[in-house]
C-alpha cells in the first residue's frame, strides 16, 4: 500500500475524530487519582466515545480487548485496563485512545503523574517526552522527510539523557488505524519518505529513563522496558498542510 494523501474535506473529518479522542483523554486525565483502577478509566472512556457518536478503534483490533491502552510505570505501551490495576501516588500512567467516526480514525496518547507532582526525574521524563512530540510535529512539513521527524524527536530525548524505544513506531492514519508510512521516533535528517500535502501522521514518541530495549509480557500485549526503567508516551495525529503541521487530536 502506498501512502494515502487526504483531501481538505477528509482532513476535516479527521479533525472531528481527533477532537473526540482529545475529549476522551481530557475526561480520563481528570479522573486519574490514587485509588482509581485502569478499568474505571476504560469504562468512562467507552461511555464517552459512545456519547460522542464514535466507535472505539482499538477494541477488536487484532483481538485487543479494550478501548484504551493504559500503561503504568515501566510499561511502555499496550497495557490492558484491569480492575486489579489500582493507581497510586507516584505512578505515571500512559493512556492511549483511538476512535473512528464517519470512516476516519483518530489516535492520541498522554502520560499523567498520579497524585500530583512526581519525582523530579519522572517530571523531567514527562516534559521531555511531550517536548519531543512537539519537535517532531514541528518537522512534519511539506518537503521534509519521515527521517526529519524522527531525528527531531530523537535529538530532544537523547540530549536529555533518555532513550527512544525502537520496537514501536508511529504511523500514517486515515481510513485505517495504521497506514503507511511508519514513523520511527529516531532517524536521520533527509532520509525516508518525503512528506507531501495531505499526509496525516500519528507521531508517538515512547521514551525510557533507561535503555531503549523492550519486551512483551505473557499477556501478548503489554510492552515493558527490558531494564525496568519508567517509560512515557505522548501521541498526536498531525496533518501535513500548505500552512504547516496541523494537530488534529485537540
Which chain residues interact with Co ion by CB under 5 A?
Answer: 107, 202
Closer to Co ion at the Cβ: 76 or 202?
Answer: 202
What the block records as the C-alpha cell of 215 is 519486551
C-alpha distances (whole Å) from 9 to each of 12, 104, 105, 137, 195 are 5, 11, 14, 21, 19
Nearest residue (CB) to Co ion, 36 versus 153: 153
Cβ of residue 137: shortest distance to Co ion, in angstroms?
14
Residue 35 backbone class (left: φ over 0; alpha: ψ -120 to 50; beta: rest): left
- For Co ion, which is the closer residue by CB, 74 or 235? 235
Q: How far is the CB of 115 from Co ion (least distance, A)?
A: 27
92/73 Cα distance (integer angstroms): 5
* CB of 36 or CB of 108, closer to Co ion: 108
Residues 6+ apart with CB under 8 A from 102: 13, 16, 17
Q: How far apart are CA 108 and CA 76, in angstroms?
A: 15
Tell me how far, at minimum, the Cβ of 86 lies from Co ion, in Å.
26
Please, are residues 26 and 48 in contact by the beta-carbon 8 Å criterion? no
- Closer CB to Co ion, residue 21 or residue 36? 21
Q: Provide, rounded to whole angstroms, the least separation between the CB of residue 17 and Co ion.
A: 13
Minimum distance from residue 141 beta carbon to Co ion (Å): 20
Amino acid at each position: 500500500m502506498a501512502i494515502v494523501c487526504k483531501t481538505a474535506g477528509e482532513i476535516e473529518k479527521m479533525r472531528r475524530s481527533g477532537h473526540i479522542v482529545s475529549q476522551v483523554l481530557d475526561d480520563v486525565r481528570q479522573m486519574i487519582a490514587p485509588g482509581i483502577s485502569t478499568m474505571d478509566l476504560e469504562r468512562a472512556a467507552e461511555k464517552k466515545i459512545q456519547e460522542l457518536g464514535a466507535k472505539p478503534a482499538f477494541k477488536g483490533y487484532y483481538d485487543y480487548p479494550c478501548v484504551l491502552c493504559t500503561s503504568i510505570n515501566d510499561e511502555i505501551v499496550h497495557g490492558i485496563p484491569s480492575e486489579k490495576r489500582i493507581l497510586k501516588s507516584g505512578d505515571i500512567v500512559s493512556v492511549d485512545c483511538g476512535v473512528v467516526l464517519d470512516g476516519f480514525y483518530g489516535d492520541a496518547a498522554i502520560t499523567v503523574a498520579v497524585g500530583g507532582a512526581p519525582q523530579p526525574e519522572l517530571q523531567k521524563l514527562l516534559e521531555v517526552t511531550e517536548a519531543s512530540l512537539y519537535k517532531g510535529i514541528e518537522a512534519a512539513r511539506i518537503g521534509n522527510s519521515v527521517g526529519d521527524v524522527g531525528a527531531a524527536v530523537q535529538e530532544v530525548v537523547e540530549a536529555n539523557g533518555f532513550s527512544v524505544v525502537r520496537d514501536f513506531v508511529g504511523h500514517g492514519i486515515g481510513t485505517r488505524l495504521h497506514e503507511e508510512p511508519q514513523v520511527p521516533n529516531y532517524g536521520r535528517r533527509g532520509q525516508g519518505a518525503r512528506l507531501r500535502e495531505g499526509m496525516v501522521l500519528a507521531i508517538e514518541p515512547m521514551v525510557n529513563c533507561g535503555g531503549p530495549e523492550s519486551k512483551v509480557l505473557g499477556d501478548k500485549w503489554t510492552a515493558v522496558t527490558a531494564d525496568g526503567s519508567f517509560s512515557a508516551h505522548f501521541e498526536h495525529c498531525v496533518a501535513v498542510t500548505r500552512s504547516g503541521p496541523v494537530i488534529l487530536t485537540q
